Amino acid sequence: MTEETNVEIKKPILEVKNLKKSFPIKRGFLQRTVGHVRAVDDVSFSIADGETLSLVGESGCGKTTTVRAIMRAINPDEGQVLFRTDDDETVDLAELSLSQIRPLRRNIQMIFQDPFSSLNPRMTIFQLISEPLLVNGIGNKQEREDRVTELLRQVGLRPEYMQRFPHAFSGGQRQRIGIARALAINPRLIVADEPVSGLDVSVQAQVINLMMDLQDEFGLTYLFVSHDLSVVNQISDRVVVMYVGRVVEVGKPQELFRNPKHPYTSALISALPITDPKNRGVRPVLEGEIANPANPPSGCYFHPRCPFAVDQCKVEAPPLQEVSGRLVACHRTEELELAGVTKHGVAAG
Amino acid sequence: MQSPEPETVVTDEDTGTRPLLSVEDLQTYFFTDEGTIKAVDGASFDVYSGRTLGIVGESGCGKSITAKSILQIIDNPGRIVGGQVKLSSNGDASKNLLEMEPNGEEIRSIRGGEISMIFQEPMTSFSPIHTFGNQIIEAIRLHSPLDKEEAHGLAVDWLRRVGIPSPEQRMSEYPYQFSGGQRQRAMIAMALCTEPRILIADEPTTALDVTTQAQILDILQTLQKQNDMSIIFITHDLGVIAEVADVVAVMYLGKVVEIGPVESIFSSPKHPYTKALLSSMPTIDAAPRERMPSITGAIPHPQNRPSGCSFHPRCPSYMSDICGLREPDLVSIGTDQQASCFLYGRN
Ligand SMILES: Nc1ncnc2c1ncn2[C@@H]1O[C@H](COP(=O)(O)OP(=O)(O)OP(=O)(O)O)[C@@H](O)[C@H]1O
Ligand SMILES: Nc1ncnc2c1ncn2[C@@H]1O[C@H](COP(=O)(O)OP(=O)(O)OP(=O)(O)O)[C@@H](O)[C@H]1O
Ligand code: SF4
Ligand SMILES: [Mg+2]
Ligand SMILES: [Mg+2]
């Protein structure tokens, strides 16, 4: 990880600025638009070269939408996605045309959540992994085969398996195939949306170790999406906590989880199961449901569930501001003492 | 699920009570074209009143099939081929559920009555063409003499208790109109509305956020205290087990390989598989960017069960003169813990 603070990343590989994306809600026979879901509502963060930045938050908070807008699988409504190219030039992926983006694509690859549906069942492992090479016109058949052999070894699979089809592999093995495919054309940035959520703990550990090893070896940068705070703690250099389409806190995992500065981060931590049966006890349960992004509350989106909300929180949206080397969006952050992770798991609050 | 003061596991000896449910040497096999899959191959455990038994293990180890076998709801080509499931009645006699006719009156009145189940896939346990309300009302009336109106009132009450907002209105909605978390809660309401003595909860919170999960664990805990309900809690999330279980059974390839009080399982696991499973659990207080200990090798395909101790190809303590040759039995270690591993005797 770089020595830079959370607040200012010098020469980021990717900088997302004020990204917004909403989806129309259509109803009735005429499919009239009756409202909008503000899936991503002003999100900003930057990623340094070689670091792992994670996006965390409850289901529906806009993690996948953020990632899809960065990859231009959907078009953002507003904002910039600044990517630093090999030639040290900065381009805005949000405003390029799809044909202008294509040559840049080889720098950014994606690993998907579901290793079962993301691999075409009719393609062999060789075809799957070499496809990005073929698409980008890299190498002849022999060279591609050599490259796939090398990649399979790197992700811990036997090259002999090359002619098999995905159904012959377990979930963890399929996820390795997905990783080999993402690595095929030497990308600099890998975007992984819940890559280990569907896997057993033991397999999860293998895949995470593999991702960290490959990062050390090839200097990869990861944008990692997960709702599992423990996994995020283990893999990240920095963490972005999202709530209903907005960023509420950004910081290093040790600092953020031990000493959260936003009430929502603290609430997420206190909802974690206590992993030591000796220390279980009564803990506060966050009341209420996650806010509806189609009809978000006024002011701070978290205020209806926040135990510390004051009148100001109901009317004024708190800006994301630097607070002792961290970014936090909360009016009361400076005066609050929030519970975080302790030695024995999680503090009772 | 949780006792106010830490205490050790309740056994026959120290309470004088019998287990409410006793599963003995359960065997459930699937007879497929490719061969026989021994999904459950000799699982045994006891469930006590007001207590939670946690069942953990990797995907495919037989947790769900064990649960479904208790209620005899195994789909073809599966068959329960051996064992006993004894449910003790209020009197003194106990009934072996496996002796009952699978579609008979007797077991049907136990399903959803004395023993309720929360299924792993909430979508498949609801009918898509009936409203939630009607489905819950029907479940209630199947097991109680309430009339329609009373059952309606009770159903609304339960939806409210599991935290579904405006329950009166949601009664007339269909499953697809609920979010994943709401569907899960509705299923919990449906399983609990008949006030079962035993709740089997198969991965009840796995699809949920930590915050929703915490709310649901809280609900189950409160109900357990109120009704002295027993819970069989199935999950592969060890963090959840640490929080809810009194006793933990660890399964590997269809067998219980270790069982004991939750504190002992976490503080001094005996079976190498339990140890490996615990150390591969990501924790939020671990130092970031540290390599995670992982179990080497993959879970074997259930059709190619390794000889001897089925964990031997992945086991760091493998002993070549015995582990691949003979199958270890569960042996007692200390007062209330049992594990099947030759490290603790070559029985
Ligand atoms: N194509 C779409 N049309 C309409 N609404 C959408 C669409 N895609 C996402 N949404 C909505 O946008 C919000 C954010 O969804 P998103 O998939 O980004 O969440 P997420 O944080 O990835 O959640 P999860 O953890 O469940 O994957 C949700 O309310 C979702 O219902
Ligand atoms: N209908 C079926 N036909 C054939 N085999 C089956 C069938 N249902 C289950 N099995 C097999 O029985 C074994 C045990 O399955 P079970 O569903 O109990 O696993 P589990 O421990 O609940 O796993 P998970 O954590 O993934 O839910 C698996 O190997 C599975 O492949
Ligand atoms: S701004 Fe107010 S409502 Fe929002 S998190 Fe801070 S204290 Fe709570
Ligand atoms: Mg998502
Ligand atoms: Mg299961």
How does residue B16 score in pLDDT terms, banded at 50, 70 and 90?
A: low
Sheet holding B21-32, edge to edge: B35-47, B21-32, B78-88, B94-96
pLDDT at B91: 63
Tens digits of residue pLDDT in A232-275: 999 999 999 999 999 999 999 999 999 999 999 999 998 888 77
pLDDT at residue B2 greater than cutoff 50: no
Nearest CA to ligand 1 atom 22: A64
Tens digits of residue pLDDT in B145-175: 899 999 999 999 999 888 787 889 889 988 8
Establish whether residue A23 lines the binding site of ligand 1, counting it when its CB lies within 6 angstroms of any ligand atom.
yes
From A94, A98, A38, A105, select the one nearest A69 (Cα to Cα): A94
Q: Give CA–CA dist A207/A217, Å, rounded.
A: 15
Tell me the pairing of strands B337-339 and B331-333.
antiparallel
Tell me the pairing of strands A238-243 and A52-56.
parallel
- Compute the distance from residue A176 Cα to the ligand 3 centre, in Å: 41
Identify the structural domains of chain B with CATH numbers, from first to last: 21-114+196-344 (3.40.50.300), 128-193 (no CATH)
pLDDT at residue B12 greater than cutoff 50: no
Pair B110, B87: CB distance under 8 Å: yes
From B272, B237, B273, B249, select the one nearest B337 (Cα to Cα): B249
**DSSP E strand stretches across A69-146:** 78-84, 90-92, 108-111
Q: C-alpha distances in angstroms, A13 versus A10, A50, A141?
A: 9, 9, 33
Tens digits of residue pLDDT in A213-224: 999 999 999 999
Identify the structural domains of chain A with CATH numbers, from first to last: 11-236 (3.40.50.300), 261-346 (no CATH)
Helix H or strand E encompassing A251: strand A246-251
Contact B294 A234 (CB under 8 A): no
pLDDT at residue A136 greater than cutoff 60: yes
Q: What secondary structure letter does DSSP report for A167?
A: G
Non-local (6+) Cβ contacts of B35 within 8 A are B303
Span of A76-80, A232-236, B37-41, B213-217 with lowest mean pLDDT: B213-217
More confident residue, A22 or B182: A22
- HSE-CB at B169 with a 13 A cutoff on CA atoms is 5
Main-chain phi, psi angles of B94, to 5 degrees? -120, 150
Mutate to test the interface with A, among B289, B291, B296 (most CBs of A within 10 A): B289
The answer, for A235 touching chain B at a CB cutoff of 8 Å, is yes
Query: Which of B209, B286, B295 has the CB atom closest to A202's CB atom?
Result: B295
Query: Which of A212, A229, A280 has the CB atom closest to B243's CB atom?
Result: A280
Q: Is the pTM of this model over 0.80?
A: yes
Main-chain phi, psi angles of B261, to 5 degrees? -65, 145
B132 token code pair:
């939630």
pLDDT at residue B296 greater than cutoff 50: yes
Q: What is the mean pLDDT of chain B?
A: 88
How does residue B143 score in pLDDT terms, banded at 50, 70 and 90?
A: confident
Query: Which of B59, B242, B286 has the CB atom closest to A273's CB atom?
Result: B242
**Chain B nearest C-alpha distance from A321 (Å):** 25
From B73, B148, B147, select the one nearest B110 (Cα to Cα): B73
pLDDT, mean of residues B205-221: 84
Interface pTM, i.e. ipTM:
0.79
Main-chain phi, psi angles of B321, to 5 degrees? -80, -5
pLDDT at residue A170 greater than cutoff 90: no
Contact A59 B209 (CB under 8 A): yes
**DSSP E strand stretches across A57-160:** 78-84, 90-92, 108-111
Span of A125-129, B107-111, B291-295 with lowest mean pLDDT: B291-295
pLDDT, mean of residues B324-344: 95
Q: What is the mean pLDDT of chain A?
A: 88
Nearest residue on chain B to A235, alpha-carbon basis: B289
From A23, A22, A63, A72, select the one nearest A45 (Cα to Cα): A63
pLDDT, mean of residues B332-344: 95
Q: Give CA–CA dist B58/B276, Å, rounded.
A: 12
How does residue A38 score in pLDDT terms, banded at 50, 70 and 90?
A: very high
Nearest residue on chain A to B216, alpha-carbon basis: A285
How does residue B320 score in pLDDT terms, banded at 50, 70 and 90?
A: very high
Q: Give CA–CA dist B261/B54, Å, rounded.
A: 10
A11 Ramachandran zone, left/alpha/beta (phi>0; psi -120 to 50)? left
Q: Give CA–CA dist B306/B301, Å, rounded.
A: 9
